[in-house]
Amino acid sequence: MIDLRSDTVTKPSAAMRQAMLTAEVGDDTMGEDPTVRELEERIAAMFGKEAALYACSGTQGNQLGVRAHCIPGDELLIHETGHIAVFEGGAPAALSGVTVRTLPGPLGKLDVDVLSSQLRPFDQHFPRTKLICLENTTNLGGGRCYSLEHMQRVAGWARENDLKLHLDGARIFNAIIAHGYSAADVGSCFDTISICFSKGLGCPMGSALVGSKDEILRARRARKMFGGTLRQTGIVAVTALYALDHHVQRLAIDHEHARLLAHGLASIDGIRIDSESVETNLIYFEIEHGRGTAVQLASALRDHDVQIGPMGGQRMRAVTHLDISRQDIDTVVEVVKNCFKAGFADRPLTGSGPYSR
Whole-number Å distance between alpha carbons of 144 and 278: 8
State the DSSP string of 205-271: S-EEEEE-HHHHHHHHHHHHHTT---SSTHHHHHHHHHHHHHTSTTHHHHHHHHHHHHHHHHTSTTE
Mean pLDDT of 35-61: 98
Mean pLDDT of 222-241: 96
> What does CATH list as the number for 12-246?
3.40.640.10
Whole-number Å distance between alpha carbons of 276 and 259: 8
- Tell me the C-alpha to C-alpha distance, in Å, between residue 341 and each of 297, 299, 337: 12, 15, 6
Mean pLDDT of 324-336: 98
Q: Is 90 exceeded by the pLDDT of residue 355?
A: no
153-161's contacts with Cβ under 8 Å and 24+ in sequence apart are 153/111, 153/112, 154/110, 154/111, 154/112, 154/115, 154/189, 155/188, 155/189, 155/190, 157/112, 157/115, 157/116, 158/132, 161/119
Q: Nearest Cα to 264, choosing from 9, 4, 20?
A: 4
Res. 354 pLDDT band, cuts 50 70 90? low
Identify the pLDDT of residue 44. Answer: 98
Mean pLDDT of 48-71: 98
What digits encode the pLDDT tens for the residues 236-284?
A: 999 999 999 999 999 999 999 999 999 999 999 999 999 999 999 999 9
Whole-number Å distance between alpha carbons of 268 and 341: 10
Mean pLDDT of 63-91: 98
Q: Is 90 exceeded by the pLDDT of residue 111?
A: yes
Q: Is 90 exceeded by the pLDDT of residue 356?
A: no
Identify the pLDDT of residue 353. Answer: 62
Q: Is 90 exceeded by the pLDDT of residue 190?
A: yes
Length of the chain: 357
Identify the pLDDT of residue 349. Answer: 82
Identify the pLDDT of residue 295. Answer: 96
Give the type of residue at 316.
M
Spans of all domains in the chain = 12-246, 251-342
Identify the pLDDT of residue 163. Answer: 98
Q: Is 70 exceeded by the pLDDT of residue 352?
A: no
Identify the pLDDT of residue 348. Answer: 87
Q: Is 90 exceeded by the pLDDT of residue 201?
A: yes
Name the pTM for this structure.
0.96
* Greater model confidence, 351 or 170: 170
Percent of residues, the chain, with pLDDT higher than 70? 98
SS3 57: coil
As a whole number, the mean pLDDT across the chain is: 96
- Second CATH level (architecture) for the domain 251-342: Alpha-Beta Complex (3.90)
Q: Is 80 exceeded by the pLDDT of residue 351?
A: no
